[in-house]
Structure 1
Amino acid sequence: MPKFKLFANKKGIADQKRNNQYVKFARQIYVEAKKGGPDPNANLKLKAIIANARAIQMPMENIERAIKKATDTGNADNYEEIRYEGYGPGGVAVIVECLTDNRNRTAADVRAIFNKRGGNLGETGSVSFMFDRKGVIVIDRETHAVDEDTILMHALEAGAEDVVVEEDTYEILTHPHELDQVKAALEKEGYTFSNAQVQWLPQTTTKISGEDAAKMLKMMEAFEENDDVQNVYANYEIDDDEMEKLLKS
């Protein structure tokens, strides 16, 4: 296959993923603007969602359109938040957070994704006890030339619980209810963020390989492509070399 064709295919996949993210953020913005008001300065949750959307280059016109839709009294769209829990291949614990205007459609879609990839949908609470609910603030290391001691000091002074140092990022962990407070304090110190939201963090991981690993990645991809799915969390662990092979296949 010609190289330009390969590039076109990759670009098409990347564009589709980005558009999927835009759809999800537009829905979040709509719901939060309708619930807490359309002014980001008076609605901190809306402000945080917009900041996350802008971090992936979501156009302002898309954001403004979602806010305008929320303020339109003639708009009857009504979304509800639903959490699904289940198991993926190899006994991996999975949490799926959805925002939907059709509970039956979403439940059927989520169940089908679990079943098709060797997993099964469970009851609410069946796996969430294996995760901790935390606020996670992500800072790109290349954006801020500060050492680990400095970032840890600023984070703890701001009220954070811990800092996880990754190769490319600092991940600042907070109590879920203190995410906005910590984020605001760090902004005063001059920090910017690539993402800031409440997440489910696994307490332990389940190592998988071979067919289970391939199916798990396909399951995650299917959930991420579904417009109703806002976030998906799983406690799988795949060896780096095998992950690289799977991503190339």
Structure 2
Amino acid sequence: MAGHSKWANIKHKKGAEDAKRGKIFTKLVKEIIVAARLGGGDPDANPRLRTVLEKAKQNNLPKDNIDRAIKKGTGELEGVNYEETVYEGYGPGGAAVYVESLSDNKNRTVADVRHLFSKHGGNLGENGCVSWMFDKKGWIPVNKNDAEEDVLMEAALEAGAEDIRDEDGVFEVITPPDAFEDVKAALAAAQIPFGDEAEVTMLPQTTVSLGGTDAEKMLKLMNALDDNDDVQRVHTNADIPEEVIAAAG
């Protein structure tokens, strides 16, 4: 799980820079459109929409943008039809990479993703080649200084959490996807703060430790994929050393 925690922190810090460039707005708008199309425009009845609206609020996406995106999703306004696609492959050192995308042109997206894998020492594989190495789970990080373990366990487990893990100064609360919102609400009610990085994600069952140039190339691959406008989320089982992350800024 350490690998996921590190990548989540990298994404969180990187997100601040992406927000300045408006890049993260594009991804949020796409996600809102698709969530509203699949589950309707009422966040109270649509957990996926509710989750992305929280993220939109954290990133200061303007309300007008949110309202237009919801209306495009529900068909009240004309909009682009985005398709959800998953790409799977291997990065440097054989680490697994699982890429989620929303695209209006799958041919363009697969060509771009394949190019990025090749450019950074990896290779795009067949569907299913790495998905079995991940589990879809809710992931909520809580700083150990912000909560007593027994209080956290009581609030989280009663709300439906599966597990609480101790990783590098952080309690990681693991939930089934459909209990994610309930557990977050329970932590908030118990006045237990948690990180903005909390998300429903693909958690690796095991991690692959990388070092040297493999670690550096892997970090560049992950960042390059994350920078692609059609890519929504990138997951890996790579565990990259802290010194490599620090050197990359």
What is the TM-score when the length of structure 1 is the normalising length? Answer: 0.83
Contact 1:163/1:171, CA 8 A, preserved across alignment: yes
1:57 & 1:162 partners in 2: Cα distance?
32
Query: In structure 2, do the counterparts of structure 1 residues 50 and 138 end up closer, same or farther at CA, with 3 Å as the change threshold?
Result: farther
Q: Which runs of 4+ in 1 moved over 6 A?
A: none
**AA paired with 1:34?**
R
Matched with 1:162 is 163
Matched with 2:133 is 130
Matched with 1:90 is 93
Identity %: 47
Contact 2:147/2:192, CA 8 A, preserved across alignment: no
Matched with 2:54 is 51
| Aligned counterpart in structure 1 of residue 110 of structure 2, from 77, 90, 107 | 107
2:63 & 2:163 partners in 1: Cα distance?
33
Contact 1:48/1:196, CA 8 A, preserved across alignment: no
2:143 & 2:105 partners in 1: Cα distance?
37
1:221 deviates by 0.9
Which runs of 5 or more structure 2 residues have no equivalent in the other structure? 1-13
Matched with 1:67 is 70
1:198 & 1:188 partners in 2: Cα distance?
20
Matched with 2:24 is 21
The answer to whether residue 247 in structure 2 is matched with residue 242 in structure 1 is: no
Matched with 1:179 is 180
| Aligned counterpart in structure 1 of residue 212 of structure 2, from 206, 210, 213 | 210
Secondary structure of 2:43 counterpart: coil
1:184 deviates by 3.8
Contact 1:55/1:195, CA 8 A, preserved across alignment: no
Contact 1:17/1:225, CA 8 A, preserved across alignment: no
Q: Which has the larger radius of gyration?
A: 1
Matched with 1:4 is none
Contact 1:52/1:195, CA 8 A, preserved across alignment: no
Matched with 2:235 is 233
2:184 & 2:211 partners in 1: Cα distance?
37
Query: In structure 2, do the counterparts of structure 1 residues 62 and 190 end up closer, same or farther at CA, with 3 Å as the change threshold?
Result: farther
Secondary structure of 1:77 counterpart: coil
Contact 2:19/2:59, CA 8 A, preserved across alignment: no
1:147 & 1:45 partners in 2: Cα distance?
30
Stretch moving more, 31-40 or 55-64: 55-64
Matched with 2:81 is 78
1:166 deviates by 4.4
**AA paired with 2:45?**
A
| Aligned counterpart in structure 2 of residue 116 of structure 1, from 119, 130, 140 | 119
1:50 deviates by 0.7
Secondary structure of 1:41 counterpart: helix
1:129 & 1:228 partners in 2: Cα distance?
23
2:197 & 2:67 partners in 1: Cα distance?
20
The answer to whether residue 33 in structure 2 is matched with residue 30 in structure 1 is: yes
Stretch moving more, 178-187 or 27-36: 178-187
1:103 deviates by 1.0
**AA paired with 2:177?**
P
Query: In structure 2, do the counterparts of structure 1 residues 160 and 212 end up closer, same or farther at CA, with 3 Å as the change threshold?
Result: same
**AA paired with 1:106?**
T
Query: In structure 2, do the counterparts of structure 1 residues 126 and 151 end up closer, same or farther at CA, with 3 Å as the change threshold?
Result: same
Secondary structure of 2:80 counterpart: coil
What is the TM-score when the length of structure 2 is the normalising length? Answer: 0.83
Query: In structure 2, do the counterparts of structure 1 residues 53 and 167 end up closer, same or farther at CA, with 3 Å as the change threshold?
Result: farther
Query: In structure 2, do the counterparts of structure 1 residues 139 and 22 end up closer, same or farther at CA, with 3 Å as the change threshold?
Result: farther
1:215 deviates by 1.2
